[in-house]
Amino acid sequence: MRKIELTPKLYVVIVMIVTGAMMRLIPHWPNFTPIAAIALFGGTFVKRKDLAFLIPVAAMLLSDLIIGFHSTMLPVYLSFIAIVAFGLVLQRRLTVVNTLSASLAASVLFYLVTNFASWTSGLMPYPMNASGLIQSYIAGLPFLFNGVLGDLFYTSVLFGAAYLVSNRQAVYVK
């Protein structure tokens, strides 16, 4: 059996998982959490791809153990796995514009997938036809708005911090 060595990088992974889970547990605007940003960041910067995919799933699972499980967990988790894949693509052309575009794409993907899953679950009060699906998407627009704001905020924090650390930029205040 392989011994796990606690390195600074592993501590970062653990902190990302725990932070993501904790941010879902404290009061927040709906969908204003760092999970999508953590998934995008992990796909972009975590060299071990198995860990990159594990980070958002572990954060979700850890917090869902406390919040409770629900019928649309699989699509939610798969959305975050897809967002890690966005990060894998982003690492090849890492720019501010591409990072913000990937963050917006992550928000839209999560919104489309999870609203569709909620609608198909039959738990929503919308008819099971095209009109009902459109109603479901319209009703979910505030969640999309919150998701976009949260994803852009947390993506800016994570990627901005990585930029500052990697460039060792000194910050001088006069």
Question: pLDDT category, 97, cuts 50, 70, 90?
Answer: very high
Question: pLDDT category, 166, cuts 50, 70, 90?
Answer: confident
Report the b/e string of 141-164 with b at 16+ CB within 10 A. eebbbbbbebbbebbeebbeeeee
What is the rounded end-to-end Cα distance, in angstroms, of the chain? 54
pLDDT at res. 26 = 86
Report the b/e string of 28-65 with b at 16+ CB within 10 A. eeebbbbbbbbbbbbbbbbeeeebbbbbbbbbbebbbe
pLDDT at res. 132 = 95
Which helix (H) or strand (E) segment holds residue 157: the answer is helix 141-167
Per-residue pLDDT averaged across 61-76, rounded? 94
**Looking at the predicted structure, is the pLDDT value of residue 168 above 80?**
no
**Looking at the predicted structure, is the pLDDT value of residue 152 above 90?**
yes
User: Of 124, 143, 142, 132, whose CA–CA distance to 72 is shortest?
Assistant: 124
HSE-CB for 73 with a 13 A CA cutoff = 15
Per-residue pLDDT averaged across 46-57, rounded? 92
Q: Whose structure tokens read 């990585």? A: 162
Per-residue pLDDT averaged across 27-39, rounded? 92
Least confident of 93-102, 118-127, 141-150: 118-127
Which helix (H) or strand (E) segment holds residue 62: the answer is helix 49-67
Better pLDDT: 136 or 169:
136
Q: What is the pLDDT of residues 5-28, one digit of tens each?
A: 667 777 777 888 888 889 898 888
